[in-house]
Amino acid sequence: MNYTLVGAFVLVLGAALIAGVLWLASGGAFQKKYDLYAAIENESVAGLNLNAPVKYYGVDVGKVRSVTLAPGNPEQVNLLFAIERGTPVRESTIAVLKTQGLTGIAYVELSGGAAGSPPLRAAAGEKYPLIKTKPSLSARLENMLTTVLAKLDSTAGNINSVLSDENRAAFRNILANLAAVTQTFAARKATLDAGITNASRTLDNSAQASAELGPVIERIGHAADAVEKMGKAAALAAASAGRTLDASGPDIKRFTAETLPEFERVLGEMAALAASLRRLSERMEGSPGGLLLGRRPVPPGPGEETGKGAPK
């Protein structure tokens, strides 16, 4: 009977031991509960395996439970995550693929989840809440390199078109012409220097002559005034002489009839001289340089061709 009790005790103890081991293996009272979330990747998930870690700001919060191709779009990959319950997965949470060091082993990094954002829920008709994704660093670098290479290829094509045989020949001609012009200027340096010096001297002389023309213009104006006064005095004298002649005898009238036209002609010439002097004075005051440089040709009017006169 003692053997029977001992055997029963051993069996019960073994069963309890096995049950305890299984309970501890399953987590026991500290077993964690997980919620399932889905994500869709539009890039390669090479290196991401089942049970790969899911981290939230670097802290392990779950594992990858499924990696499958999307049924309707083979360029998309469906992921299923088991994330510890209580992890703040919100509508603003973003999932990004990352790699650990140089090993190439990939994992999923969750970020975002601002406090003001509501918790992520499954949409109507969906089985799991869908976490948003964004391209990984390697995908962004690949896209950027592709764009840069395309631009470099376009730039190289433009450079090749610019450096064509015709353009190179044109550039050579331009450089040759520039060299010829430079040599011409260098050969005529002394002449150019002399011309610049003469031009400067001419400008100085013109300025000095313009300054000296002031008194001359003033004198011409005074002369015109004097001639004008002389003409007026002569006219008055002629009028007085006429009245005197009317009272004189016939001999004096005959003398006056012979000399008066000549006297009137002299008065007309004096008036014309006074007008000419006044116009000369006004022209010299308005443009003293014209006295030195001469009159400039009048530019052709609208519709007139240079050197061919007015249109018929």
pLDDT tens digits, one per residue of 120-143: 898 888 899 999 999 888 888 888
Domain boundary among 113, 136, 159: 136
Q: What is the distance in angstroms between the CA of the first residue and the CA of the last residue of the chain?
A: 153
Q: With respect to residue 98, please indicate whether it lies within any of the assigned structural domains.
A: yes
Out of 136, 153, 175, pick the residue that ends a domain: 136
Residue 310 lies in a domain: no
Rounded to 5 degrees, φ, ψ at 80 are -125, 125
Tell me whether residue 182 is in a domain.
no
Phi, psi of 49 (to 5 degrees): -115, 170
> 244-293: per-residue pLDDT in tens?
556 555 555 555 566 666 666 766 766 777 677 667 666 666 655 554 44
- Note whether 65 and 80 are within 8 A (CB): yes
Task: Compare 276 and 118 and report the one with higher pLDDT.
Answer: 118
Of 160 and 39, the structure prediction assigns the larger pLDDT to 39
The DSSP element (H or E) to which 307 belongs, if any, is none
What is the mean predicted confidence (pLDDT) over 292-306? 55
As a whole number, mean pLDDT of residues 208-228 equals: 65
pTM for the model stands at 0.44
| Residue 180 is assigned to a structural domain of this protein | no
In a domain, 223, yes or no: yes
Range of lowest pLDDT (39-43, 146-150, 173-177, 189-193): 189-193
Instruction: Find the helix or strand (DSSP H, E) in which 143 lies.
Output: helix 137-162
Q: Which residues contact 70 (CB under 8 A, 6 or more apart)?
A: 40, 76, 77, 78
- Amino acid at position 264, single letter: E
Q: Is residue 107 part of a domain?
A: yes
Domain presence at residue 18: no
132 and 36 belong to one structural domain: yes
Q: Is residue 152 part of a domain?
A: no
Range of the domain at 50: 32-136
Domain final residue pick, 106, 136, 166: 136
d(C-alpha 242, C-alpha 265), whole Å: 16
pLDDT at 240: 65
DSSP state of 112: -
Supply the pLDDT for residue 133. Answer: 92
Q: Sign of torsion, CA 116 120 125 126?
A: positive
Pairing of strands 94-99, 106-111: antiparallel
Are 66 and 41 in contact by the 8 Å Cβ rule? The answer is: no
Eight-class DSSP state of 148: H
Number of domains in the chain: 2
